[in-house]
Amino acid sequence: MPSYQAAISRMYALGHELAHTPSHKFDLAHMRVLLEALDHPERGFPAVLIAGTNGKGSTAATLDAILRSSGLRTGLYTSPHLVRINERVRINSEEVSDDEFALLHDVVDRTAERLVNEGELPWHPSFFEMLTAMAFEHFSRRKLDIAVLEVGMGGRLDATNVVEPRVSIITDISLDHQKFLGDTVTEIAREKAGIIRPGGVVVTLPQHPEANDVIGNAILQLGARAVSAVPYVPPVSPASKEYTVAGRHAVAVSRYPLQVMGRQILVETPLLGRHQLRNVALAIAAAEELGRQGLNVTPQSIEHGIRTTRWPGRFQVISGAANSLEYVLDVAHNPAGAWALRSTLSACCGDRPFTMIFGAMRDKAIAEIAEILFPLANRVIATRAENPRSATPEEIRDAAGRVPLEIELAAAVPEALQKAAAALGPAGLVVVTGSIYIVGEAMPALSVQTSAAPVSSVVLSGRSG
């Protein structure tokens, strides 16, 4: 039997190569050659395709939970992962097993090697192309009712964009990955809008004017049908919404009534923050559209699915650790994500002092993120993940030079957690944020699960007035 560890090692070697040859990722012709040799697994299941800058994963996780609550056999493909690569490929919320991963890798890797040797491919597929093909092969073999696919980067030339989606979803668009996608919101939105199909269905929300123009024009040019998620975004004002610490082992939720499919439901989502209400709305609108297309989606399954959504590392609050501290884990890897975290921290924590542990990839807008987040903290500890793209703590400190705060340095995430704990009392709060890799490395150190099961240590509770 093929070795899981050997498959993982070979996959990560491809990931390292991609850092030097990023253009390999952006050629759908090569992806189609690989999938044709695999007998087109991408045609073996219906799919929903989700693009955007922020909120793709949260929208995908919520929609997947709704569809599972509707009695459907679902696949979920997301990226990147927090702790283990298997998290990216799930069926009915269960990660692909190590044995299945190894077998899938063997099938796809042998096929890729043959195509390279025969001259059908100019080089070996990238990390993301390999993993996408493996996910498609897994989903096709398991006879899904539907798969929810998150675009890796961009949309138009992303490896996932070879499917013919039942529904395309575009989440909020902002500046990120400019090296690959363009320097303006308009250019980036053009890449994201590449998932819209002629005569297809696209679910979206009004957002940045430049993005609105691009998406609107693409819909018109392609004769697609736009589905607005606006009716599902609750008009909650800051005055009528607050978050409070309710006590240990209580699950955090945003709670509000909503009219869906002609009935009132009670939305209870564990995804906190105003920005997450938009992602939940997109998932609801997409689920309702899939119901119109014949899937067994009901108001009750939408309500239940939202309530049971689990998407770790997105304003996840951990309590009950041995040191009695509370931790907020949140991925805020670009300025838009930083603003969302800032807003949610203000709503949830008010003036409560906290220590921030921060790390980011070198190609991110570190200076801008630092100016948004660091002034909120009493203390900032800069660190780095075990990733060759990570900025060093010194680079983060230098990039944040305009922030009037002394930034401490920690060589790795465990050291940063130890430094934070050493200086805080039992009521202390630590916010771990920046790259998903920073959050992912903090999770095992704090004994946090990444499974779809509810995490018993989540402690903040949200109330809607």
Q: How far apart are CA 308 and CA 269, in angstroms?
A: 8
> Binning pLDDT at 50, 70 and 90, where does residue 71 land?
very high
Q: Which residues contact 350 (CB under 8 A, 6 or more apart)?
A: none
Mean per-residue pLDDT of the chain? 87
Q: How far apart are CA 208 and CA 126, in angstroms?
A: 32
CB 43 within 8 A of CB 143: no
Name beta bridge partners: 382.
Answer: 358, 409
Q: pLDDT of 298-315, one tens digit each?
A: 999 999 999 999 998 888
CB 43 within 8 A of CB 173: no
- Give how far Cα 20 sits from Cα of 23, 25, 140, Å: 9, 11, 32
Q: How far apart are CA 99 and CA 102, in angstroms?
A: 5
pLDDT value of residue 454:
39
Domains of the chain: 4-239+271-307 (3.40.1190.10), 316-448 (3.90.190.20)
CB 86 within 8 A of CB 186: no
pLDDT value of residue 235:
80
pLDDT at 127 over 80: yes
Query: What is the secondary structure of 359-424 as a DSSP string?
Result: E-BTTS-HHHHHHHHGGG-SEEEE---SSTTBPPHHHHHHHTTTSSSPEEE-SSHHHHHHHHHHT-
Q: How far apart are CA 342 and CA 354, in angstroms?
A: 13
Average pLDDT over residues 112-120: 97
Average pLDDT over residues 348-358: 86
Q: pLDDT of 207-248, one tens digit each?
A: 989 999 999 999 999 999 999 999 999 886 433 333 433 333
CB 431 within 8 A of CB 328: yes
> Binning pLDDT at 50, 70 and 90, where does residue 252 land?
low
Q: How far apart are CA 110 and CA 105, in angstroms?
A: 8
> Binning pLDDT at 50, 70 and 90, where does residue 319 land?
confident
- What is the signed CA dihedral for 30, 32, 35, 39, rounded to 10 degrees? -140
Name beta bridge partners: 407.
Answer: 380
- Give how far Cα 80 sits from Cα of 89, 99, 213, 443, Å: 11, 21, 29, 15
Query: What is the secondary structure of 141-167 as a DSSP string?
Result: HTT-SEEEEE-SSSSTT-GGGGS--SE
Q: How far apart are CA 439 and CA 416, in angstroms?
A: 12
> Binning pLDDT at 50, 70 and 90, where does residue 428 land?
confident
Q: Which residues contact 260 (CB under 8 A, 6 or more apart)?
A: 232, 284, 288, 299, 302, 303
